[in-house]
Amino acid sequence: MEISLQARVRAGDPDAFRQLFDEHAAVVHRHAVRMTGNWVMADDIVSLTFLEAWRLRERVFPGADSLRPWLLGIATNVTRNTARAARRHQAALTRVPPSDPVPDFADEVTQRLADTEELAAAQKALSKMRRGEREVFTLCVWEGLDAATAAEALGVAVGTLRARLSRAGRRLRKLTELELDGVAGGVGRTSRTDSTDSTDGTDRMNGRSGSRGSEGGLGQSGVQRPAAVGQSLGSRHQAARSMQEKKR
């Protein structure tokens, strides 16, 4: 009779843990990137997650359908602890004279992608969401976990998770719209001014009034609001990851 992967992991089989890493490391890394927005920190979170999984291996239920929710729950806790440690470290650095910054390729790629209004608006919106909202959003929307599985990973009731997810969706849409409206307002004003000036000049040359030319100005900005902010942001993060791997 073949022993399940869950039972082998629980027993501390090194080959089973190697298989566990091969099957789920990418998922854990993607989850960490989406939670932190930092490729380097995500690498550390993956390592710490599997170290913690080894330490907690006896908590695995041999009959569990999948170890993915268990790992994502560990990764979420590791991310919380890592974020707190990073804040303490940053606070300590403020008391030290600044040194010359060392450029990081991953940060460079992310910064290039952040030049688009859509990604910048979504990132700002995500950063303003509460931690609990970000967690349920990444697990349910990006990772595709159902409510019961995500609730198990976070250690909360299903009803609590559904409420958080509903609030997260409304809040993300609202914050992203506000960010894009701010960008659209600036772009729209500039576009209308440039268009009116150009049209008025042409009308004067042709002996026509500028009133008709003003209709040719841009009535709305060209900024497009994302239909699905989570999917758009996730695909751009994946593109950045691919560029980083090619660079290596």
**Structural domain spans, the chain:** 1-102, 110-248
Of the chain, the end-to-end C-alpha distance in Å amounts to 43
Can you tell me which residue has the tokens 């268990």?
70
Contacts of 223 (CB under 8 A, 6+ apart): 117, 118, 180, 183, 184, 187
Q: Is the pLDDT of residue 160 over 80?
A: yes
Q: How far is CA 204 from CA 191, 192, 193, in A?
A: 20, 18, 17
User: Region 179-190: what's the mean pLDDT?
Assistant: 63
Listed residue (111, 110, 117) closest to 186, CA to CA: 117
Whole-angstrom Cα distance, residue 106 to residue 83?
A: 19
Task: Give the whole-angstrom CA distance, residue 73 versus residue 28.
Answer: 10
Residue 207 confidence (pLDDT): 47
**CATH class of the domain defined by 1-102:** mainly alpha
Does the domain formed by 110-248 have CATH 1.10.10.10?
yes
CB atoms within 10 A of CB 242: 11
Instruction: Give the per-residue pLDDT at 246.
Output: 54
Mean of the per-residue pLDDT values of the chain: 73
pTM, entire model: 0.47
At residue 127, the pLDDT reads 75
Average pLDDT (124-145) is 82
